[in-house]
Amino acid sequence: METELSKRLGIEHAIFGFTPFPAVAAAITRAGGFGVLGAVRYTAPDDLRRDLDWMQEHSDGKPYGLDVVMPAKKVEGVTEADVEAMIPEGHRQFVRDTLAKHGVPELAEGEAAGWRITGWMEEVARTQLDVAFQYPIGLLANALGSPPGDVVQRAHGQDVLVAALAGSARHAERHAEAGIDIVVAQGYEAGGHTGEIASMVLTPEVVDAVDPLPVLAAGGIGSGAQIAAALALGAQGAWLGSLWLTTTEADLHSRALTAKLLAAGSGDTVRSRALTGKPARQLRTEWTDAWDGPDGPGTLPMPLQGLLVAEAVSRIQKHEVVPLLGTPVGQIVGRMTSERAVQTVFDDLTRGFERAVDRINRIAGRSQ
């Protein structure tokens, strides 16, 4: 499963695995792919340094990367407190009422919400980069498009390739103009923030728009046959995220959430603004239904919605309130029916890829 890009990065298979879990990222790299660690949850530099130290020790000297969440344009002079003060009281009351309806307990006294908007602020992302550039990362990816120009230059100065996600050919062209090295064409089927164009349409559009830059296909990919299809559409690799959530190396801290993922079908996700204020594909739950229903107050724009629901999401997760319990995940969740080791997933992907290529060769009359 080699392409020009995989050879350039020194990996065996053109499979790029995005994950918030260091153990999963390292296992992807050891299996011959390219593990990409999501950094958004690391608001403390020492925590990121600890996990990158661990990755160094457990990646067998093979390459890996980091994914940050960094806006291309900086908003000056706005603090988290300033943003939080903009949240209407009616929305706060809706959160309280929804949690009370389902009997969700409070957090312990002094216990902070596990996820805050600080992980999305440029200042935090820059501290993450200050740590990351002390390690031999091979790739820096940005989930919010092209990072600021000085960050691109800094990465290139350390021989680090820069990738950016795009949901349309127009977005991809802007990335190319910004000096990005790799464009990740993320289709409608993907988990988390995603656009409205499906992967089968988006991938070749982006390939044509940014040629000769390499493109990775993302969204709805969870089999070797789908990877073969992505390469046939012109991509130089596949970017997989959701598929790793139910691997044995993943640490969701919730057996109830893992059970919901394993039981979900491909139609059990919804593209909702309930989590961050921007459309993000996630498990459909009574929480997303409440926000998207006619009786709700409507979601707030990013970053207000994320601040509003941060404590609520932490309470739901800590106490495993099943009707409300969810997570960002793509439509590929329908294939995630059992817990498997990362290496087992890789073996399945590579065998499926070989079968798909053989099938196409037979159709083309090229089989041996």
Residue 118 has pLDDT above 60, yes or no: no
pLDDT tens profile 211-260: 999 999 999 999 999 999 999 999 999 999 999 999 999 998 899 999 99
Other beta carbons less than 10 A from residue 265's beta carbon: 11
AA identity, residue 72 = A
Tell me how far apart the alpha carbons of residues 278 and 192 are, in angstroms, rounded to a whole number: 9
What is this structure's pTM?
A: 0.93
CA distance 16 to 6: 10
Residue range 296-300: mean pLDDT, rounded = 94
| Percent residues over pLDDT 90 in the chain | 82
Highest mean pLDDT, choosing among 82-91, 113-122, 287-296: 287-296
**Sheet-wide strand order for 280-283:** 192-193, 280-283, 269-272
If pLDDT is split at 50, 70 and 90, which confidence band does 73 have?
low
Q: Which residues pair with 218 in a beta bridge?
A: 186, 239
Select the more confidently predicted residue: 121 or 30.
30
Structure tokens at 293: 């229903």
| pLDDT for residue 72 is more than 80 | no
Residue 303 has pLDDT above 60, yes or no: yes
Report pLDDT for 107. Answer: 87
- The predicted model gives 318-339 an average pLDDT of 97
pLDDT at 47 over 80: yes
pLDDT, tens digit, 9 for 90 and up, residues 261-285: 999 999 999 999 999 899 999 999 9
* Mean pLDDT score, 119-145: 87
Tell me which residue of 133, 139, 107 sits closest to 35, measured CA to CA: 139
Mean pLDDT, the chain, whole residue set: 93
324, 105 contact by CB (below 8 A): no
Q: Could you tell me which residue, 350 or 145, shows the higher pLDDT? A: 350
Q: Are strands 280-283 and 192-193 parallel, antiparallel or unpaired?
A: antiparallel
Amino acid code (one letter) for 343: Q
pLDDT of residue 190: 97
**Residue 368 pLDDT:** 58
The residue to which tokens 């969740």 are assigned: 333
Neighbours of 368 (CB within 10 A): 5
d(CA 199, CA 187): 4
Contacts for 302 with CB less than 8 Å, ≥ 6 apart: 276, 277, 278
Query: Mean pLDDT over residues 175-187, rounded?
Result: 97
Q: What is the pLDDT of residue 199?
A: 97
Q: Which two tokens stand for residue 153?
A: 């230059």
Exposure string for 22-43, b = 16+ CB within 10 A, e = fewer: bbbbbbbbbbbbbbbbbbbebb
What pLDDT is attached to residue 110? 73
Higher pLDDT among residues 83 and 218, named by residue: 218
Contacts of 153 (CB under 8 A, 6+ apart): 179
Q: What is the rounded average pLDDT of the residues 91-119?
A: 83
Residue whose C-alpha is closest to residue 12's, from 35, 28, 31, 32 = 32
- Output 23 or 302, whichever has higher pLDDT: 23
> What string of H, E and C letters represents the secondary structure of the chain?
CCCHHHHHHCCCCCEEEEECCHHHHHHHHHCCCEEEEECCCCCCHHHHHHHHHHHHHHCCCCCEEEEECCCCCCCCCCCHHHHHCCCCHHHHHHHHHHHHHCCCCCCCCCCCCCCCHHHHCHHHHHHHHHHHCCCCCCEEEECCCCCCHHHHHHHHHCCCEEEEEECCHHHHHHHHHCCCCEEEEECCCCCEECCCCCHHHHHHHHHHHHCCCCEEEECCCCCHHHHHHHHHCCCCCEEECHHHHHECCCCCCCHHHHHHHHHCCCCCEEEECCCCCCCEEEECCHHHHHHHCCCCCCCCCCCHHHHHHHHHHHHHHHCCCHHHCCCECCHHHHHCCCCECHHHHHHHHHHHHHHHHHHHHHHCCCCC
* Percent above pLDDT 70 for the chain: 94
Average the pLDDT over 162-177 and give the result.
97
With bands split at pLDDT 50, 70 and 90, how would you rate the model's confidence at 85? confident
Contact by Cβ (8 Å): 166, 188 = no
Q: How confident is the model at residue 119 (pLDDT cuts 50, 70, 90)?
A: low
Who contacts 199 (Cβ-Cβ below 8 Å, separation ≥6)?
185, 187, 188, 189, 190, 217, 218, 219, 220, 221, 230
